[in-house]
């Protein structure tokens, strides 16, 4: 998890990124309920974070991986054709140092530099 300040992710009004502490509280409650109902933890996380994304509340992005551009994007618009990636952070797969004016391409979607829901490329944390 990257621990990105919410102010670093521009989103439309009414949408936001959970703080690390909020994510921890959601995770703890969801995992406790999952144990009571014999649901695997990762399934419960996927359900809860998907439900939050449906109402415009998103999890922290994962730590950026080295080797490609570190720009990230969270799909946040209701799009039936891409419902499976709503709220799922994407990392640009283009070369490190590519021209941001060319936009960014993740595994499942592309986005222009500076788009709502995006984080610009930054150095990878060691």
Tens-place pLDDT, residues 33-90? 999 999 998 899 889 988 999 999 999 999 998 899 999 999 998 888 777 889 999 9
Residues 6+ away with beta carbon under 8 Å from 5: none
User: In degrees to the nearest 10, what's the CA dihedral of 46, 41, 124, 21?
Assistant: 90
**Domain total in the chain:** 2
pTM above 0.75, yes or no: yes
* CB contact at 8 A, 14 and 1: no
Residue 4 has pLDDT above 80, yes or no: no
The answer as to whether 29 is a domain residue is yes
What's the token pair of residue 25? 């509280």
Residue 81 has a pLDDT of 77
The answer as to whether 1 is a domain residue is no
The answer as to whether 124 is a domain residue is no
Residue 2 has a pLDDT of 65
Residue 126 has pLDDT above 80, yes or no: no
Q: Are residues 52 and 79 in the same domain?
A: no
Tens-place pLDDT, residues 84-125? 889 999 999 999 999 999 999 998 899 999 999 999 998 776
The answer as to whether 53 is a domain residue is yes
Q: Are residues 76 and 54 in the same domain?
A: no
């Amino acid at each position: 998890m990257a621990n990105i300040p919410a102010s670093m992710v521009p989103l439309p009004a009414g949408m936001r990124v959970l703080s690390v502490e909020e994510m921890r509280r959601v995770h703890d409650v969801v995992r406790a309920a999952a144990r009571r109902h014999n649901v695997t933890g990762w399934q419960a996380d996927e359900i809860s974070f998907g439900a939050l994304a449906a109402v415009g509340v998103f999890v922290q992005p994962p730590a950026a991986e080295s080797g490609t551009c570190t720009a990230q994007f969270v799909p946040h618009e209701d799009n039936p054709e891409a419902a499976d990636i709503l709220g799922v952070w994407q990392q640009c797969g283009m070369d490190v140092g590519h021209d941001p004016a060319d936009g960014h391409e993740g595994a499942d979607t592309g986005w222009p530099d500076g788009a709502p829901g995006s984080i610009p490329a930054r150095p990878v944390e060691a």
